[in-house]
Amino acid sequence: MNSLVLTQRQEPDQSLALTLAGAIDEEADYSVVKSAGVASVTFDFEKVKLINSTGLQRWIKFLESFAPTVAMAFRRCSIRTVTQINMFPGFLAGRKVAIESFFAPYFCEACDLSIELLLDYAAHKADLDKMKAPKMNCSRCRKEAEFDGIEKKYFVFLKK
Amino acid sequence: MSVHAFVSDAIFTQHLAPLAGKLGRCAIRRLPSAEALLAIGPRDGGPDLYVVEEALLQQEPARRTAVMRRRGLVLLTAQDVESTIRLFAENEALRHVHSINDALLGRQLETTLAQILADAPLPLTRYLASGASLQSMVVKSSQAKQGVIDAIVFDVAPVVAFADLAGVVATVTSELLMNAVFNAPHDAKRGLPKYRDLPRDETLTLAAGEEVRAFFGHDEGALVLGVEDRFGMLSRATLAANLLRASRIGAAQIKMQTAGAGVGLYMVINAATQLDVYVERGKLTRLTAVIGVSKRYRDFERLGHSLNYFGKEGDG
């Protein structure tokens, strides 16, 4: 039983976009991914809800199956994914990976709610390069939300 | 039997003094110095317990080593999880390290001291506020893992907490279960692990007597997740070595050539504010993870990480 659903879109320019949904665990099956001839690959982690220890092993082996010349980018990294990259830099399999966007914990006082907001790296580069959380608005009430993590801990993965 | 505390005023008043009466007839006394602690000799009626704040030992470096060798020591530290693991690994006599950066310190100390004083595993309800219920499930196959995770996440869904709590719970449950199912069963005659080297994607059906019990419950401040097996094979030395390797960033952090990655318990202690390992050699292993529940993710991130090893015998 495959715990991870992989949706792949291959573009004429030899770029591959992979959307992952579910669990990166011992049952995740990457054999459906056609990595041959790919020039660049982008991974979308928004719907990844679990990454366990055996899943890390399989994931690293999967990344290693791409030729060293293949450019890699991560986008829409879930908080789970960011947490694991922070704890295990090996998640990047020693590759130079561009982080395009990721979710971060924020808190909206007006809604009294813990929320996850998507941060675009390019749009917030000035703040993020200083490991500073950008000002963001609540996705519900549009009022300013407060970053709800510890900046020097949460943004470490951007330096890896 | 007494609990001797070499701690600051604040820690004593807020967290230790309120435990009086909750630990049977055990008295709680405050000590003025490490010297006073070391002057206490063995007594009849069982070993004394020592709760010591690491920061105070920095002021008495000459006595630090001797204090760290004391049996029954519960060390309170302000260090991060990696340093806590290092303390545990580098001091062989040390079995109990608690974070003082924790709103739950008082209740954590209560369970730790109560478990040290007890002759049997502490009732799991002691980890929760009075009246909170605990549910349990018997797991007979590796394939049951997802069902257990789903059941626990479903139960936790109404808890008002930070957005990623479900992910934290799923991670801890997954690691505790996989560890118990694949690593715990040992061949009784040869004393060797039976399933440790099996690929983790292989469906493993446990033999009679090898079943694992998973349990969970929560109250307003914490969620308790745990797993028991009937083998009792996890030694303090193995636990310490595993956590130490997994906490060190580098090529050896994640094992790539073995069936298991060897980082599961490190994931658990990172997610949990307390990880208790209770072992009766050859009979029982119980791993209990306490996860702090808060509305704010930042409060969860700020919680410390405590580690306890309760080994009854044959600790290799």
**B174 to chain A: which residues are within 8 Å by CB?**
25, 50, 52
A154 min Cα distance to partner chain B (Å): 9
Amino acid found at B247: S
- Which positions ≥6 away from B10 have C-beta within 8 Å? none
Residues B123, B288 contacting (CB under 8 angstroms): no
A124 min Cα distance to partner chain B (Å): 21
If phi > 0 it is left, if psi is from -120 to 50 it is alpha, else beta; for residue A14 that is: left
Query: ∠ CA B214-B216-B222 to the nearest 5 degrees?
Result: 145
Using CB atoms, which residue from A57, A89, A148 is nearest to B261?
A: A57
Does A22 touch chain B if contact means CB atoms closer than 8 Å? no
The CA-to-CA distance between both ends of chain B, in Å, stands at 27
Cross-chain residue pair B178–A53, CB shorter than 8 Å: yes
Q: Is the pLDDT of residue B314 over 60?
A: no
CB atoms within 10 A of CB B257: 5
Strands of the sheet with B134-139, listed across from one edge: B27-30, B2-6, B49-53, B73-77, B96-99, B306-311, B274-280, B284-292, B222-229, B212-218, B134-139
Print the SS3 string covering chain B: CEEEEECCHHHHHHHHHHHCCCCCCCEEEECCCHHHHHCCCCCCCCCCEEEEEHHHHHCCHHHHHHHHCCCCEEEEECCCHHHHHHHHHHCCCCCEEEECCCCCHHHHHHHHHHHHHCCCCCCHHHHCCCCCCEEEEEECEHHHHHHHHHHHHHHHCCCCCCCCHHHHHHHHHHHHHHHHHHHCCECCCCCCECCCCCCCCCCCECCCCCCEEEEEEECCCEEEEEEEECCCCCCHHHHHHHHHHHHCCCCCCCCCCCCCCCCHHHHHHHHCCEEEEEEECCCEEEEEEEEECCCCHHHHHHCCCEEEEEECCCCC
B180 min Cα distance to partner chain A (Å): 14
Q: What was the pLDDT predicted at A11?
A: 87
Cross-chain residue pair B261–A56, CB shorter than 8 Å: yes
Q: What was the pLDDT predicted at B104?
A: 85
Q: What was the pLDDT predicted at B25?
A: 83
B268 min Cα distance to partner chain A (Å): 10
Cross-chain residue pair A50–B171, CB shorter than 8 Å: yes
Mean of the pLDDT values across residues B172-200?
A: 94
Q: Which helix (H) or strand (E) holds A1?
A: none
Average pLDDT of every residue of chain B: 93
Q: What was the pLDDT predicted at A2?
A: 79
- Which positions ≥6 away from B26 have C-beta within 8 Å? B1, B2, B3, B49, B113, B117
Residues A61, B187 contacting (CB under 8 angstroms): no
Beta bridge partners of A47: A21
Give residues 120 to 179 of B whose Cβ lies within 8 Å of A: 143, 146, 149, 161-164, 166-167, 170-171, 174-175, 178
Beta bridge partners of A48: A22
pLDDT band, residue B242 (cuts 50/70/90): very high
Mean of the pLDDT values across residues B86-103?
A: 93
Does A149 touch chain B if contact means CB atoms closer than 8 Å? yes
Using CB atoms, which residue from A1, A87, A149 is nearest to B297?
A: A149
Cross-chain residue pair B263–A148, CB shorter than 8 Å: no
B19 min Cα distance to partner chain A (Å): 32
CB atoms within 10 A of CB B283: 12
Distance CA A74, CA A99 (A): 5
- Of residues A160 and B86, more confidently modeled: B86
Residue tagged 């072992």 (tokens):
B279
The CA-to-CA distance between both ends of chain A, in Å, stands at 33
Amino acid found at A74: F
Residue tagged 């679990």 (tokens):
A50
Q: Is the pLDDT of residue B245 over 80?
A: yes
Cross-chain residue pair B261–A3, CB shorter than 8 Å: no
Q: Is the pLDDT of residue B102 over 90?
A: no
**B301 to chain A: which residues are within 8 Å by CB?**
149-150, 153-154
Across chain A, how many H-helices and E-strands are there?
4, 9
> B9-43, pLDDT tens digit by residue?
999 999 999 998 888 888 999 999 999 999 997 66
Least Cα distance to B315 among B285, B286, B283, B279 occurs for: B279
Q: How far is CA A73 from the centre of its chain?
A: 9
Mean of the pLDDT values across residues B178-205?
A: 93
> B131-182, pLDDT tens digit by residue?
999 999 999 999 999 999 999 999 998 888 998 999 999 999 999 999 999 9
Cross-chain residue pair A53–B166, CB shorter than 8 Å: no
Q: What was the pLDDT predicted at B315?
A: 46
Beta-carbon pairs below 8 A across chains A and B: 101
Longest C-alpha distance within chain B, in Å?
A: 57
Cross-chain residue pair A26–B261, CB shorter than 8 Å: no
Does A109 touch chain B if contact means CB atoms closer than 8 Å? no
Q: What was the pLDDT predicted at A159?
A: 87
Does A65 touch chain B if contact means CB atoms closer than 8 Å? no
Quick one: what percent of chain A has pLDDT higher than 90? 91
* Minimum mean pLDDT range among B210-214, B220-224, B273-277: B220-224
Structure-block tokens of residue A39: 């020039």
Please identify every stretch of chain A with a pLDDT value under 70, giving residue numbers as ranges. 1
Distance CA B259, CA B233 (A): 19
Cross-chain residue pair A52–B260, CB shorter than 8 Å: no
Q: What was the pLDDT predicted at B316?
A: 39
Does A88 touch chain B if contact means CB atoms closer than 8 Å? yes
Q: Which helix (H) or strand (E) holds A83?
A: helix A79-87
Mean of the pLDDT values across residues B82-96?
A: 96
Q: What was the pLDDT predicted at B24?
A: 85
Does A141 touch chain B if contact means CB atoms closer than 8 Å? no
Least Cα distance to B227 among B168, B153, B280, B285 occurs for: B285
Q: What was the pLDDT predicted at A39?
A: 95
* Minimum mean pLDDT range among B88-92, B162-166, B262-266: B162-166
Does A121 touch chain B if contact means CB atoms closer than 8 Å? no
**Nearest residue in chain B measured CA to CA from A149:** B298
